[in-house]
Homo-oligomer: A and B are copies of this chain.
Amino acid sequence: MPASVQPGTGQLPINASFSVAVTGYHDASLDSEVRRFQAQLARQSGIPFRPKTGSSPTLTIHADHGRQAIQKLGEDESYELTVTDSGAKLAAPTTLGAMRGLQTFLQLVQITPTGFAAPAVAIKDQPRFPWRGTLIDVSRHFIPIDVLKRNIDGMAAVKINVLHWHLSDDQGFRVESKIFPKLTGMGSDGMFYTQDEIRDFIAYAHDRGIRVMPEFDVPGHSRSWFLGYPELSSGSGPYTLEGGGPGPYIDPIMDPTQESTYKFLEKFVAEMARLFPDAYFHIGGDEVDGKQWDANPKSQAFIHAHGMKNNQDLQAYFNQRLQKIVAKNHKTMVGWDEILHPDLPKTIVVQSWRGQESLAAAAKQGYSGLLSNGYYLDLMRPAARHYAVDPMANAAATLAPEEKGRILGGESCQWAEWVTPENIDSHIWPRNAAIAERLWSPQSVTDVASMYARLNAVSLHLEFLGLTHRSAREHMLHRMAGDADITELRNLADVVEPVKDYNRWSDAQGPIDFHAPLTRMLDAVYPESDVARHFSDLVQTFVQSGYKDQAAETQIRTWLAAWRDNDARLHPLLSTTFLLQEDVPLSQNLSALGVAGLQALDYLDKSQPAPDSWKTQQIALITQAKLRQADMLLMVVAPVQQLVEASASQHN
């Protein structure tokens, strides 16, 4: 949603005669963006646009200036877009702004009774925050470059301007180092990016107006470093990759007490600083498990000798040393919450995974900050929940203007415990677009219903762009079903979601096998069920009408009847393939809910209170249906419960 939108009258037809002219400054970056714009417009509309010559282009693009060779934080991304029934004009101070405006134009194009068209409108737009990022973890599950590239396309479509590339962790080191080849040679399963691939990828992202910030997580989350270079660690090896073999699974940490660690990091950071042109360099710094330091007499002696109080002080010492190395390479150091320590200079940027409180605290102390708490896509929460999280809300709302200015924006995070190249798109999209809007659009834009309407539209456009967040589910359901028809399986998949937060795995289960297939129903379904949301909305409408809205009731009954009848048709399939057997109770519960809901409606229609015995039975069913099954949740339990309780509580 742009900062300012003035609707006009009429619409601009988009047909085969559509043409684009660039009248102002242009460069290779804008030229290729225009080509991509036309290609995407062709995909969306199915119109095979051909190069036009002539005097009256449909869309005129005028940029005053070029953009930075290395994209800068805060570079001007503003633009103005005017669409009338006879043409469109896009004007921007920079080609970067023009690129943002072209994405807005693509969002305006819709199918109408008379053809494709963009509504007449006058838009003045600029981002609310200069830093709008998405973190993608490629350590826990390796994500190939082509998959990242299509996600870059998606990010550009929703005006995200930073890819935070989480490149190393306990489960794998993913970047080729020419100086320290054992980082990938021993610290990965052979899957990593070569430096050539990285350069190509960074250029790809730059071409789309996206900065690429690397993260190398130290001194914790760094087991993968120690397979090749155990001397960096504070404990004694040998080490194996987490998930790659037998434990032990305590967290190894770098040894901050020895100069050799810093010598290594000097060389490593210098190499990586050359490879990654972005001005920011993320050093992680989160979740440092102090056990190895506790166990290592050298560390404890070092703490005493330097007058430190604890492990936190030791990490701060490490960070100070590292910050100097990063700064020497002309980069600004970024790290997670835990790096915040008064000993560090105010130039660093703190990324808050812990919460808005710590973000505000950092800003108060003079540090710049980014919010990620509330934007963790891997927690499988609905878009509305992320959308409600504002970097300037709660603790930040009370900051002084100068302090507020230190909040640069935020980043969504896609941690990769449970994703593969096949299903990562659906874990990121379309929900990421809601977070992108939170970070771009005015704080006042908060209506959830209209957000979902836009999200649905953008989700379709993203599939046309090449993302697979919808289509991958279809593939995966077909795999589970073998040759069988998947209509009923899709019906079930439509109303379930994976369990939330960190509930998929418990520590009691031991380490995750990161090379196991992720091919269960759980892995295929969308993190957010549109059908359940629509059904719940329908039930609210019906309830609020005093159970009188006939149209709503008819639709509710259609759903309930479909669910009631689904299990009988689905059951034979569920029992014949090993990937679906665990879903039998889920399907049975859905059918039982369908029956319960229909009975509740019958009681409501007759204005006849449901008997207590019936209600007791239904509540028992509902209680059981709320439990996780095969690591999934049935998302239509609550609205059915609402109907059941309403039917029982009505009075004659």
Contacts and interface: CB of A to CB of B under 8 A. Distances in A.
A113 B464 contact: no
Interface residues of A, number: 46
Interface stretch (A258-266, A333-341, A376-384, A469-477): A469-477
B50 A578 contact: no
A47 B579 CA distance: 12
Contacts of A515: 16, 48, 50
Nearest to A530: B485
A480 interface: yes
A113 B517 contact: no
Interface in A465-490: 470-471, 474-476, 478-483
Given A463-B478, A464-B475, A453 B483 contact: yes
Contacts of A456: 483
A456 B475 CA distance: 14
Nearest to A482: B111
Given A483-B456, A515-B16, A576 B48 contact: no
Contacts of A479: 44-46, 111, 464
A46 B517 contact: yes
A581 B48 CA distance: 21
Nearest to A49: B515
A110 interface: yes
A517 B45 CA distance: 9
Nearest to A575: B113
B46 A581 contact: no
A579 B111 contact: yes
Contacts of A271: none
A541 to B, nearest CB: 17
Contacts of A463: 475, 478
B460 A517 contact: no
Nearest to A471: B471
A251 interface: no
Nearest to A474: B471
Given A420-B48, A517-B45, A517-B46, A577 B16 contact: no
Nearest to A51: B190
Given A115-B578, A453-B483, A575-B113, A517 B474 contact: no
A114 B471 contact: no
Contacts of A581: 113
A626 B601 CA distance: 41
Nearest to A518: B46
Given A478-B463, A483-B453, A46 B422 contact: yes
A53 interface: no
Nearest to A453: B483
A346 to B, nearest CB: 45
A18 to B, nearest CB: 12
Given A16-B515, A474-B474, A475-B463, A114 B578 contact: yes
A517 B47 contact: yes
B112 A578 contact: yes
Nearest to A48: B515
A301 interface: no
B460 A483 contact: yes
Nearest to A15: B517
Nearest to A468: B471
A464 to B, nearest CB: 7
Interface string A445-464: 00000000100110010011
A85 interface: no
Contacts of A482: 110-111, 457
A515 B47 CA distance: 8
A154 to B, nearest CB: 16
A286 interface: no
Contacts of A481: 111
A456 B482 CA distance: 10
A519 interface: yes
A235 to B, nearest CB: 27
Contacts of A112: 576-578
A479 B471 CA distance: 14
Contact of A577 (B111, B471, B476): B111
Nearest to A514: B48
B480 A111 contact: yes
A64 interface: no
A562 to B, nearest CB: 10
A520 to B, nearest CB: 9
A189 interface: yes
Nearest to A520: B46
Contacts of A480: 111
Contact of A517 (B48, B478, B577): B48
A456 B478 CA distance: 11
Interface in A406-423: 420, 422
14 contacts: A16-B515, A16-B516, A46-B517, A47-B519, A48-B515, A48-B517, A50-B189, A111-B479, A111-B579, A460-B478, A463-B475, A464-B479, A471-B471, A474-B474
3 shortest interchain CB distances as A-B pairs? A46-B519, A111-B482, A111-B577
